[in-house]
Structure formats: C-alpha cells, structure tokens
C-alpha cells in the first residue's frame, strides 16, 4: 500500500481489491506457488477467472511445496550458523529507518510512509553499535545499528 498511495493516504480503500488479487496470485519464493493455489485450490487466469484444481494435481502441488520448503529451511539454517553481525565500512551504502510522524492536517498517516530512507552513505563508526550516516538530503546523523538496513 505504501507504493500505491504514498501521498494521498485517504484513498487507500480504492486499492484493496487490486491488492487482494495480487497477494493471492503472487508466487512465493519458498513454496513456488501463489496462496490461492495452496489454500483455495484454484488457479487464476490472466483475466482473473478462477479455475478449480483436480485432486491429483493438488496433491502433487502440495508434495512439491513440502519438499521445497524443507530445502529452504535447511539452506537458512546453514546460512544462519555462520552469520555474525556485519561490520559496516566507510562508504557503505545503507538504508535508515524513517521516523516521520503522521500529519492530520495534510491527511498523511504514518502507516503509509516508506519504512526506510536511502540509499545513505556510512561516514564513520561511532562506538560499538552506532554509525555516522549521511542521508540523501545531506543531513548527517548518528544511527544505532538497529535502525540501519543493509
């Protein structure tokens, strides 16, 4: 929703039908299938029509999904075993959390703002968990590692 209505926050309800269709018809990286196929037993055509799945076809899809999910979990375990907190270097490009507040007069709500600002440049490390960062608008400020997305 942040992408569809970044400035006119009062019109968010106009996009709900389109958002619902996209969520149900988007292929997920882990399973390889859209939620509509897995939970509703239907396939969507380009025009948006629903085609019911045959039981044998649905059973095959569930089997493939379970296998792919197990593989993904194993991959994540292997990656997470060796991962430590990344040390950022000077000149690294990162995103920082957006702390903009809602504005009732302008009709803007905090929920619709972009979560991160960037890309920003790391200028130097300050302490164990904080960095001096320059935002795209030229403002320099210190951010805790928790508020930095890299």
Q: Which stretches within the chain are classed as H helix?
A: 16-25, 35-39, 55-81
Task: List pLDDT tens digits, range 132-143.
Answer: 999 999 999 999
Q: Is residue 39's pLDDT more than 90?
A: no
Percent of the chain residues topping a pLDDT of 70: 85
* CATH code for the part of the protein at 93-149: 2.30.30.140
pTM: 0.46
pLDDT of residue 84: 52
Domain ranges of the chain: 9-81, 93-149
């Amino acid at each position: 929703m942040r992408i569809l209505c970044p400035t006119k926050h009062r019109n968010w309800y106009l996009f709900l039908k389109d958002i619902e269709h996209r969520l149900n018809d988007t292929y997920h990286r882990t399973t390889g299938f859209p939620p509509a196929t897995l939970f509703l037993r239907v396939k969507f055509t380009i025009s948006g029509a629903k085609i019911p799945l045959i039981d044998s076809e649905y059973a095959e899809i569930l089997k493939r999904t379970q296998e792919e999910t197990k593989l993904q979990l194993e991959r994540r375990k292997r990656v997470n075993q060796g991962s430590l907190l990344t040390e950022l270097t000077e000149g690294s490009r990162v995103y920082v959390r957006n702390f903009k507040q809602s504005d009732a007069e302008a009709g803007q709500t905090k929920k619709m703002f972009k979560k991160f600002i960037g890309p920003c440049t790391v200028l130097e490390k300050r302490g164990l968990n904080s960095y001096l960062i320059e935002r795209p608008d030229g403002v320099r400020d210190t951010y805790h590692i928790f508020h930095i997305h890299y």
